[in-house]
Structure 1
């Protein structure tokens, strides 16, 4: 999802035309439950692993896409003016000015997307019969609650670790500290 969302978010954030072209589709697709895509994914891919990847991508693309577009669209105009005055090319401006200035928003979107994808993967695995989600469902069918609780604990711990990694990167790319 990130491979699609970040470049598309940059394009949408830079270009008002791209924003007007893509935004209606984003608004149409964003609220659709990821599990509603499951039958379509199974029909298209005919493979549970590819369907799982498809569902996770559909669910987690939106926060990164919208945060990236917002961050890019709200880059300080003075930065862009200085870049233009110094004669920077469009590509150089994108890579040396726009992306670094939008990076805190991009990382925030990635952090939210990671959380959503972690939620969706377990649900998708329950339905697709693979992974930890399937294990939980199978243990429910066996009425073995202790294993379910252990799996839930593992999911929570992994979620915390992933979130803390993104929180670290978020802090790393933020400009200065705000006083409390």
Structure 2
């Protein structure tokens, strides 16, 4: 009989953890019946007003949604994910599409800036020393701190969200690209000098493949940050997107829909991370 692999054991353990968590959730949200002593005869009208039965029993319900309520919410949202009943009533599929579109555009713009500029400062120690102080100052600034400036200058909430994605995505890609380019093995560079390879061919045929795993690491980190930030940005500026959907459901006091939105955010973020992990594995090589 074959032994289970670590991956299979991990999957079984994850399933057990999920089952335990759902059991705890179920036990915490089960309605509790509290029996109150009848204080006086003829108090049936008072008991009815207080929600008590004839025996003086009240049912205390948790404010947190039960698993049944969550199941109903998931079914309702996922059975018709692309409905559109107006500005404030769109399906979860449409909301996710808006958010992913903003993330994709902002992320692409960040790639167009970060990767070429990362090559420049990675190949030139002088350029690195010149630009590094500015990078270190701008890198730790919260992306949402840029939102007021973006709204004031751009005057469009959707484009401002894309700008926030750009500004938060550019730094991990830039630094990882520069690090990967600067740490290409000297033996490879010496071979290009011996063969008198042109700078352009050296960049695309030698440096880029060697630095690709590090560049993909930066892109993977940037995508995780971008997805995190767009949700917060959409909660601030409103309009459309999964962040706006979450905030709108909170305003409607629909806690089950809020939890549903949180789960969808996590699932989409996981899928994006898995996609970049697969790309990173494809460009990785054994030393």
TM-score normalised by structure 1 residue count: 0.96
Counterparts of 1:11-26 in structure 2, within 5 Å, are 11-26=120-135
Q: Which residue of 1 aligns with 2:218?
A: 109
Match of 1:43 among 152, 172, 177: 152
Secondary structure, aligned partner of 1:8: helix
Provide, for residues 127-149 of structure 1, a one-character-per-residue CA deviation record: whole Å limited to 9, x for no partner. 01031111111111111011111
Secondary structure, aligned partner of 1:147: helix
Provide, for residues 50-98 of structure 1, a one-character-per-residue CA deviation record: whole Å limited to 9, x for no partner. 1001111111111111110000000001100001101101111111111
Alignment RMSD: 1.0
Provide, for residues 21-71 of structure 1, a one-character-per-residue CA deviation record: whole Å limited to 9, x for no partner. 211110010000011100000011100111001111111111111110000
Q: Which residue of 1 aligns with 2:35?
A: none
Match of 1:75 among 173, 178, 184: 184
Moved more, 117-126 or 151-160: 151-160
Counterparts of 1:22-33 in structure 2, within 5 Å, are 22-33=131-142
Q: Which residue of 1 aligns with 2:246?
A: 136
> Can you give the 5+ residue segments of structure 1 that lack an aligned partner in the other structure?
none
Match of 1:147 among 225, 247, 257: 257
Consecutive aligned runs of 4 or more in structure 1 exceeding 4 Å deviation? none
Corresponding pairs, count = 177
1:165 aligns with 2:242: no
Q: CA deviation at 1:10?
A: 0.7
Secondary structure, aligned partner of 1:31: coil
Q: Which residue of 2 aligns with 1:62?
A: 171
Provide, for residues 101-146 of structure 1, a one-character-per-residue CA deviation record: whole Å limited to 9, x for no partner. 0000000000000000000000000001031111111111111011
Secondary structure, aligned partner of 2:197: coil
Q: CA deviation at 1:20?
A: 1.4
Q: Which residue of 2 aligns with 1:2?
A: 111
Secondary structure, aligned partner of 2:141: coil
Instruction: Name the structure with the higher helix share.
Output: 1
Secondary structure, aligned partner of 2:271: helix
Secondary structure, aligned partner of 1:23: helix
